[in-house]
Structure 1
Amino acid sequence: MRETAEAIAAPPGMAEVPILALVDDAQLKQLGPRAQVADFCLLPLREDEFVARIRRLVRPTAPGDDDRVIVEDLVIDLRGYVAAIDGVPVDFAYQEFELLRFLATHPGQAFSRDQLLARVWGYDYYGGPRTVDIHVRRVRAKLGHRYAACLQTIRHVGYKWLAATDRAAAQ
């Protein structure tokens, strides 16, 4: 699987064609950081997730679209690697920002610790899964009471960033 994903090279003029990999948990661990895939879906495949990911990969975007995640007064600038609350920058370490970035760009979707390690830390990470808990705690502390609840613990599963509809229902 890793060799196949790494061997995919876009022909001239096709560099922007996204590749969506369909993988099971074992194959997910085999994907390397150099794999030329834009996104992946875990098997068994859920049709709604598959359709949503395809739409996200092929939709036309204007310059500036998807550059920021905005939750009330929290602005996460994905390209600039900056988050600010009420216009005041929040100082995140690189990996903390990567975790925040990943979860905030997948609102409403729960991820296990192992999935987060693979997607955020990389496929060659050899530390324990509790490092995710430590980083979540740090991100919540830096977000403060007002936004810490956006990063929700899903018991016996992992973590998710609350979607706007979930936040409205919780208030």
Structure 2
Amino acid sequence: MKLNILIADDDNHIRELLRFYLNKEGYVVFEADNGELAATILENNSVHLAIIDVMMPLKDGWELCEEIRRYYDIPIILLTAKGEQKDKAKGFISGTDDYMVKPFDPAELLYRIKALLRRYQVVSADLITLNRIVINRRSYEITVNGELIELPLKEFELLAQLASHPGQLFTREQLLRQVWGADYNGDSRTIDVHIKRIRDRFIHVSDNFVITTVRGIGYKLEVRSN
């Protein structure tokens, strides 16, 4: 699984520089030149880390940072020319995990990205582990305490999508696009039906995770502690 990084910055040269270094490291890059477009990208794609400038049109970096922290569980780096202590304080209050001031060293930024991804336990692998549950995205197999659990394809893909980002809230529309595809014309209630089936299948075999309904929005998977 390749890791996706969002760059939100209205400076084309900065985006081009970041894209060059991130692509060299094997990351998939999404770009936005304003905060509203960045928010749309987050809604429609699985993003593993966001690099955000503060001064952007339509929605500034502070607002975007607060929005990400409210709806997603991904690391954030504020990369901005605003280097005063009060600006840094505002950034961390808004929810950023790290703060770098322009001009910056791309190599140092890469180190910080890798450190944050490790901290958030985002791994580029085909195996997803939820305590005693192992989801193998390559073989389409799920084991609980070593015993195989069989799921229909769409239930498997839906569970794997949620489990890849524990704690992240997905809207029904996001899940439809990511699991059924952009061309799917069915009703979003399809998600509700499949979520119910997944819950029913695991209720008697494992309590390692819970899929939480966020009324009027969608679902998120939360890992329970042992």
Tell me how far 1:161 sits from its aligned partner. Answer: 0.7
- Asked whether 1:18 is paired with 2:16, we answer no
SS at match of 1:162: strand
Indicate the RMSD between aligned Cα atoms, in angstroms. 3.7
Equivalent residue number for residue 45 of structure 1: 64
Q: 1:144 Cα deviation (Å)?
A: 2.6
| Equivalent-residue separation in structure 1 for 2:183 and 2:25 (angstroms) | 25
Q: For residues 20 and 136 of structure 1, do their structure 2 counterparts lie closer, same or farther at Cα, with a shift above 3 Å needed? A: same
Number of corresponding residues: 143
Cα gap change, 1:126/1:20 in structure 2, threshold over 3 Å: closer, same or farther? same
TM-score, L = length of structure 1:
0.64
TM-aligned CA distance change 1:149 to 1:74, over 3 Å: closer
User: What CA distance in whole angstroms lies between the structure 1 residues aligned with 2:192 and 2:208?
Assistant: 14
Is the CA contact (8 Å cut-off) linking 2:172 and 2:191 kept in structure 1?
Answer: yes
- One-letter code aligned to 1:19: V
Aligned partners of 2:128 and 2:134 also within 8 Å: yes
2:130 maps to a residue whose letter is: V
Task: Provide the secondary structure at the position in 2 that maps to 1:147.
Answer: coil
Identity of aligned residues (%): 30
Question: In terms of Rg, which structure is larger?
Answer: 2
Measured against aligned partners, the alpha-carbon deviations of 1:27-46 in whole angstroms (never above 9, x if no partner) come to: 789x8xxxxx88487x8733
Separation (CA, whole Å) in 2 of partners of 1:159 and 1:83: 20
C-alpha displacement of 1:106: 0.8
Residue ranges of structure 1 left out of the alignment (5+ in a row) = 1-12, 32-36
Give the letter for the 1:128 counterpart: D
Q: What's the CA shift string for 1:6-41, capped at 9, x where partnerless?
A: xxxxxxx96945122544687789x8xxxxx88487
> What's the CA shift for 1:92?
0.9
TM-score normalised to structure 2 length = 0.50
Structure-1 residue corresponding to 2:220: 160
Compare relative contact order (CA 8 Å, sep 6+) and give the higher one, 1 or 2: 1
Q: Which runs of 5+ in 2 are unaligned?
A: 1-22, 51-58, 78-109
Residue of structure 1 aligned with 2:133, choices 54, 74, 78: 74
Query: Aligned partners of 2:222, 2:42: CA distance in 1, in Å?
Result: 24
